[in-house]
Structure 1
Amino acid sequence: MSITIKDVAKKANVSISTVSRVINGSKPVSEDIKKRVFEVIEELGYSPNPVARNLVMKKSKLIGVMIPDISSTFVGELLNAVEEIAKTYGYDIILCNSYGELKQEIRYFELFKSKQVEGIIFITRKINEIHKDIIKALNLPIVMINRDGSELDVLSVSIDQAKACYDMTNYLVTLGHTDIALIRTGDDHESFGVDQVKGYRNALEENKIEFNPARVFEGYFSLEETYKIVDSLIKEGDKPSAIFAASDEMAVGAINAIVDNGLSVPEDISVAGSYDSRISRIYRPKITTIKHPIYDIGAIAVRLIIKKINGQEPKDKLIIMPYEIIIRDSTKRI
């Protein structure tokens, strides 16, 4: 028969509420009583039920993490940081893979609610009006990764997408490229895609190169979708001299399409990516990319949630992280 808090209270000659206060540290208890209660707990081998305790304390010690693609190397590296830092604060994570589908995202928000998570780290491919309603109703600390969360009135951690895309495009121009295709991760309906085009366009126009909207494509973080785009361009005889894919997986898709069509990277087409995830370093040719501080982004996301949980309001809702252009073997001067 398992030992209950009632047994501890009886043996220690105190009330059940006193035992609860000693265990939870919720209210002051004299040192003598505290010592007596702990001695009885040890003697009887009592172990508090963590679920019941969390319900009383209104703390689940859980953080929900929703991602669109668990196979992404960027996501994998980010999760390492999120889990590691969460553990240092005594929190566990509930991980949900939405596949970028709105229906799944709605379902997982409900799951987070039922599990009483104390905060959510949310990565999505596209913001929808439904997200705004759900997030407002949840009334939880939420941090978005790599996008400006102001449209949802949540915290966010990101690099400056517009400036980073400007710098990468400008680098390709310095190599002599004037026909550069941008394969972005978003579209015109959300800030992610808009910022990428803004930086790309500004770099072209400042270098007296006409911006051509037909050279902007939507890859939505997909290697397969990017492959189709590049394969089609080559087969139609419309290949650019350089491709800037706004994620490393998309850059791999572009390179695969180029090679499968009998061409070479960077001899025939230069390719650049973004994130500096592990795949950019192990793929051949090694991919020129924008280095995001992936571990730091995940760590800061967790710390922002912990701050909110503890009643501290972060100074800034959008945390802008530094980035770096990493030059490797997939780009060359023409």
Structure 2
Amino acid sequence: MAQPTIKDVAKLAGVSISTVSRVMNDSKPVSPEARRKVLDAINKLDFKPNELARSLVMKKSNLIGVIVEDIGIEYMDQLIRGVEEIGHLYKYDIILSSTYGDDNALENAIEFLSTKQVEGIVVISENISAEVLVKLRDNKTPFILLDKFHDFKKLNTVKIDYLNEQYKLIEYLNSLGHENIAYVTKKDHDYLSDIKIEGYKKFMEKKNLEPIIIEARGNSSDDGYNIGEEVISQVKSKNLSAISFINDQVAVGFIAYCYDNGIKVPDDFSVVGFGDSEISRVYRPKLTTVSIPNYDIGAICIRALIKRIRGEEDILENNWILDAQLISRDSTKSR
């Protein structure tokens, strides 16, 4: 049996289609008698409106599109959780799409979400191109970009002051008595790696200490392990007592190298990471690191986007800067 239509409801209720629409959408006044007839007809026919058609007419779907580079990237799931849970509080559902770093997939996702009449889009990326950014703007759908690896001057977002957080991390090491502190970054620099190097250098220069920067091949645990011999060489030649790593994965990889070579952390020197990833909490020694409030970033992002959709005050007139939290664990100790 075919699903009943709005025309069937109007016929059974003895009213016009526009009256049925007004009752369903509560858009214009309808007499109590007409309302009762329409509601009775809807119940009798078990009528369920076509939500897509309804959203086309009302221009309101209560849908937010979320495009992520890869849901398998650890911090992205917390961002998504913040977006989804706060979105639900505002009666919005999300449609999730992954691009795996492919620009064509990202462009296709934007077009797909447009066909679903989403009211806004959140893009969580690590490597968005200028061309795709232009496409997002041309799409005319309100959007917010979360991309910690780039700094887009004309796009306000929710973010962390990575320079200041790295500065505070080195300041903490110094408060434990460490002065000869090295920083391990990656060879292929980007905005995020450069800004954290700047934070490290800023503190070292303030204290008239020598910055010592070592470059790993990448930012994985394997890269941390493979840079081990070079780091230990610097430890000996520069009398290093502490090493700060670009992220937790590289730090943990280096600690594994130390373990395999009879070197004790933190007895021989202190080690810190950045990010508070799961591995930092389960590896031994547990890693001192910086915890990024990814859930809060997602939550504030979706709230800002919904306000933008509704034409209310734009709370992202400037970048919204959140504080991170230094987590002191077993990989550091006083000198």
TM-score range, shorter chain: 0.7 to 0.9
Q: Name the stretch that deviates more: 277-286 or 306-315.
A: 277-286
Alignment check: 8 A CA contact 1:147 1:157 kept: no
Alignment-mate amino acid for residue 4 of structure 2: I
Shift of 1:46: 0.8
Shift of 1:297: 1.6
Measure, in 1, the Cα distance between the counterparts of 2:105 and 2:242.
36
The percent identity for this pair of structures is 39
2:87 maps to 1:77: no
Measure, in 2, the Cα distance between the counterparts of 1:119 and 1:186.
33
Alignment check: 8 A CA contact 2:156 2:318 kept: yes
User: Deviations 1:47-78 (Å, cap 9, x if unpaired)?
Assistant: 11122212222233322223334233322233
User: Deviations 1:242-278 (Å, cap 9, x if unpaired)?
Assistant: 3323433443334334434443332344322233344
Measure, in 2, the Cα distance between the counterparts of 1:182 and 1:322.
23
Alignment check: 8 A CA contact 2:9 2:45 kept: yes
Measure, in 1, the Cα distance between the counterparts of 2:225 and 2:126.
18
Shift of 1:227: 4.2
Change (3 A) 1:12 1:321: same
Cross-structure match for 2:184: 182
Cross-structure match for 2:214: 215
SS of alignment partner, residue 40 of structure 1: helix
Measure, in 2, the Cα distance between the counterparts of 1:182 and 1:283.
19
Unpaired runs of at least 5, structure 1: none
Measure, in 1, the Cα distance between the counterparts of 2:215 and 2:17.
67
Measure, in 1, the Cα distance between the counterparts of 2:243 and 2:10.
71
Cross-structure match for 1:99: 100
Shift of 1:184: 6.3
Cross-structure match for 2:242: 242
Q: Name the stretch that deviates more: 177-186 or 194-203.
A: 177-186
Shift of 1:177: 4.1
Alignment check: 8 A CA contact 1:81 1:295 kept: yes
Q: Name the stretch that deviates more: 103-112 or 15-24.
A: 103-112
Alignment check: 8 A CA contact 2:193 2:246 kept: no
5 Å-filtered alignment, 1:150-165, equals 151=152, 153-165=154-166
Alignment check: 8 A CA contact 2:274 2:291 kept: yes
Alignment-mate amino acid for residue 179 of structure 1: I
| Residues matched between the structures, number | 328
SS of alignment partner, residue 49 of structure 2: coil
Alignment-mate amino acid for residue 264 of structure 2: S
TM-score by length of 1: 0.85
Change (3 A) 1:20 1:252: farther
Cross-structure match for 1:197: 197
Cross-structure match for 1:38: 39
Change (3 A) 1:98 1:257: farther
5 Å-filtered alignment, 1:10-21, equals 10-21=11-22
SS of alignment partner, residue 151 of structure 1: coil
Alignment-mate amino acid for residue 233 of structure 1: E
Change (3 A) 1:232 1:67: farther
Alignment-mate amino acid for residue 162 of structure 1: L
2:331 maps to 1:330: yes
Cross-structure match for 1:280: 280
Alignment check: 8 A CA contact 2:127 2:149 kept: no
Measure, in 2, the Cα distance between the counterparts of 1:263 and 1:169.
22
Alignment-mate amino acid for residue 274 of structure 2: S
Alignment check: 8 A CA contact 2:214 2:231 kept: no
Alignment check: 8 A CA contact 2:275 2:289 kept: yes
User: Deviations 1:280-302 (Å, cap 9, x if unpaired)?
Assistant: 33332222112222322221111
Change (3 A) 1:55 1:110: same
Cross-structure match for 1:255: 255
Alignment-mate amino acid for residue 16 of structure 1: I
Change (3 A) 1:225 1:195: same
Query: Which protein is bigger by CA-based radius of gyration?
Result: 2
Change (3 A) 1:168 1:120: same
TM-score by length of 2: 0.85
